[in-house]
Structure 1
Amino acid sequence: MRKNGGLALVRRIGRRVEALGRRARRSHRLAFVALSLVQLVISIASFIWMTFVPASFLIIPLVVGGVLLRFGELVALTGITAAFGSYVVLSRGMTMPRIGFVLVLVIVGWIMITSAKVRSRLGVAGTRSESMLMELRDTLTAQGEMPPLPPGWRVEVAIQSAGGSTFSGDFVVSTMHGDFLEVALVDVSGKGIDAGTRALLLSGAFGGLLGVVPVQEFLPSANQYIRRQDWDDDFATVVHVVLDLRTGDFDVRTAGHPPAIQFDAWSGRWQTRDADGPLLGLMEAPEFKANHGQLRLGDALFLYSDGMVETPRRDIGRGTDRLTGHAERLVAQGFVGGAADLVATAGGPGDDSAIVIIHRMAHG
């Protein structure tokens, strides 16, 4: 019983601390006043009981302020902390260790202020900026989620960012209208976090175009949108597929992107579906031709980014052969888990890698 009572007490304390943290995030002025009072209490206690309350405790509220406070409030708290710390420490005598502590206190404050200044440019304070980035990342991930498909069809998506970050220059958008599935795999110039901001911008725009404009107008409309951004040397490549889920007929259109690959279950052969088109964002009115095909029972269609097939030491042709060699191993298992497997085994570690597998199962 005592143990359960102790756990209940810890939980109550934890809930109250969490509630205070949420209230402090909402009321920056309250947090500033509270932290200033804490610094005052620590300074007085350290001045009286320097053995039991070291002046280094002043760093803790300063770091907490760097998380909770706005830029101006953090500057004020840093000044208060430096003043209190200097008075408490230097009143005991001017020695090198004490002068060094004051310098460390000022340096920590400067680091906190620098971080807060970057966040202040966004107009947000504390951890809210990080929360916004996580929400944007979740939005980018949600854009790539496939809609529910009828029996007999399965789609797998896997994306791996360069450097292991959660932001990638490769992304997928999809929609389904009637019996037609539209999927676009996009590769933004750059990689990892450097391309993440442009990928977030384009994912929303391309997701809005998909299923709204006629299928043959998707790539020209996407091209116009990128050109309106007035980027210097940035561009995007896209492979766009429209699939009739009743018949298996599909059209593939590409814009500077590696060709799609089709697996023919009846012959066991792999065929590239090349529909060569220019990069998005470089030409005023490019034309994009469609490559027509059909997925029969057991067939699969692979869409992938250049990070899956191209490296500084390997061209796209050899990389495509290598990718099909890896995919050949997955035929026996019906390509289940194949997207994640191929990204892990064939994806280049120095570039973003993405793959989409559309499989018409032999048994519905």
Structure 2
Amino acid sequence: MRKRLRRARRRLRTAGVDYFRGGAADWPVLCALALLVPLMIVLNIWIPDWAPPTALVLPILAGALLLRPGSLVVLYALAALGLSAESVIHTGQRVASENPEAYVYGVTPGAAGVGGLLLAQFRARVGVPWWGGSTMLFDLRERLRVQSRVPALPAGWHADMALRPAGGQSFSGDFVVAARTGPGQRLLEVVLADVSGKGMDAGSRALLLSGAFGGLVGSLPAHDFLPAANGYLLRQSWEEGFATAVHLVLDLDTGEYELLSAGHLPGMQRLAGAGRWEVKEAEGPLLGIYDGAKFDGVRGRLNRGDVLMLCTDGMVEAPGRDLAEGMDRLMGEADRLVPGGAPGSGAGAAAALIETVARDINDDRAVLLLWRD
């Protein structure tokens, strides 16, 4: 029996929830909050207009934010005793059924206590303080944004990228990884990926994959990147472990490029000389479906005035509309917003495309534009 209790205790500690004790770090905070309880009672007796019985909500909420569940239960017990003492002092009755006000005094602190305990349990499972969780998420979001920026390009080259998570959330299943690689950093490698799911549901997997993809880009030959990414997803054994991705390798000296795709939408190139768009579709299965997948690329060249556009399915998919129709609409709108040729033309065009073409805010949307003048 003792061995089972020890094993259960170790499991709880591993999960970040220690219900058997609050931890030494909690004692100073617990003592300070415990002293507030009798202080609230005294204030309620002498100046009830300034310190009503429901003022016990203050130490309860403070404890929910600062204490572990074990210490919080101790504080709640003290608060319950203090609330009972207030009721007895004010009414002179010990039977709550004879004192309707006792119910009013207890409902608000009781509801706050239940909510606070649930909050403390969640915090303990995560294993970070209440102020640290938001800071950590903010830091992760900013790191993802920094990693998604296209590095500085040589004169004559321009890039514009925009990403909008589903529902206006902070995290998205779409992400971009870009880096200058090769001898003299003459190559630009860009990976635009779309993880299964959307918004916060796919955000955690997108964060993990963006870090992994960022480590692979430039560390492997171009044709080895997607097979390595596919193997990485298979090793995760996620229930929704698939993703689509397009890998662009662009020579910034000559303008020649190669697109490799893993079940992703084709690239679209606007030919300045012909004044039309050309679809660049590479062959390859989704990432994370089966081992040994092969990815065949398609080659092209960006001449002066040409524009290359990459996007995720949120830009072209819509209920009742064919995918090809959505791509035609996107290319037509891009003709208006991205006139090639002039230095700096098209700045902000990616965000404008999302606002005008992809109005469905219930899906992640990302678009990347590269052009040469």
Fold agreement, TM-score > 0.5? yes
The alpha-carbon distance between structure 1 residues 32 and 126, as it changes in their structure 2 partners (threshold 3 A), is farther
The alpha-carbon distance between structure 1 residues 90 and 267, as it changes in their structure 2 partners (threshold 3 A), is farther
Fraction of identical pairs, as percent: 41
Q: What is the CA-CA distance between 1:27 and the residue it aligns to? A: 5.7
Deviations 1:30-85 (A, max 9, x none): 33222222232112111232233212222123222222222322232222222212
Q: Where do 1:67-82 residues align within 5 Å?
A: 67-82=65-80
Match for residue 217 of structure 1 among 218, 224, 244 = 224
2:12 aligned residue: none
2:203 aligned residue: 196
Gaps of at least 5 residues in structure 2 are: 1-23
2:356 aligned residue: 345
The alpha-carbon distance between structure 1 residues 90 and 263, as it changes in their structure 2 partners (threshold 3 A), is farther
Match for residue 214 of structure 2 among 181, 188, 207 = 207
Match for residue 175 of structure 1 among 179, 199, 209 = 179
Q: Which amino acid aligns with 2:275?
A: G
Q: What is the CA-CA distance between 1:90 and the residue it aligns to? A: 4.2
Match for residue 86 of structure 1 among 84, 87, 92 = 84
Tell me the TM-score normalized by structure 1.
0.88
Q: What is the CA-CA distance between 1:318 and the residue it aligns to? A: 0.8
Tell me the TM-score normalized by structure 2.
0.86
Contact 1:241 1:251 in 2 (8 A): yes
Q: Which amino acid aligns with 1:119?
A: R
Contact 1:181 1:245 in 2 (8 A): yes
Contact 1:173 1:185 in 2 (8 A): yes
Contact 1:308 1:353 in 2 (8 A): yes
Match for residue 61 of structure 2 among 43, 60, 63 = 63
Q: What is the CA-CA distance between 1:125 and the residue it aligns to? A: 2.5
Classify the secondary structure of the residue corresponding to 2:102: helix
Q: What is the CA-CA distance between 1:28 and the residue it aligns to? A: 4.2
In 1, the alpha carbon distance for the partners of 2:88 and 2:229 equals 64
Classify the secondary structure of the residue corresponding to 2:130: coil
Match for residue 315 of structure 2 among 308, 317, 323 = 308
1:130 aligned residue: 134
Contact 2:54 2:108 in 1 (8 A): no
1:335 matched to 2:313? The reply is: no
Q: Which amino acid aligns with 1:60?
A: L
Contact 1:330 1:336 in 2 (8 A): no
Q: Which amino acid aligns with 1:356?
A: L
Structure 1 range deviating more: 190-199 or 144-153: 144-153
Deviations 1:268-324 (A, max 9, x none): 111111002100000211111111001111111111000000122222111101111
2:46 aligned residue: 48
Structure 1 range deviating more: 119-128 or 223-232: 119-128
Classify the secondary structure of the residue corresponding to 1:285: coil
1:15 aligned residue: none
Classify the secondary structure of the residue corresponding to 1:275: coil
In 1, the alpha carbon distance for the partners of 2:169 and 2:87 equals 43
1:359 matched to 2:366? The reply is: no
Deviations 1:193-212 (A, max 9, x none): 00011111101111110110
Match for residue 265 of structure 2 among 235, 258, 263 = 258
1:22 aligned residue: none
In 2, the alpha carbon distance for the partners of 1:314 and 1:35 equals 60
Classify the secondary structure of the residue corresponding to 2:337: coil
Match for residue 157 of structure 1 among 154, 157, 161 = 161
In 2, the alpha carbon distance for the partners of 1:232 and 1:357 equals 33
Deviations 1:144-197 (A, max 9, x none): 012111111111111101111001000001111110000000100000000011
Count of residue pairs the alignment pairs up = 336
1:299 matched to 2:306? The reply is: yes
Gaps of at least 5 residues in structure 1 are: 1-25
In 2, the alpha carbon distance for the partners of 1:69 and 1:58 equals 16
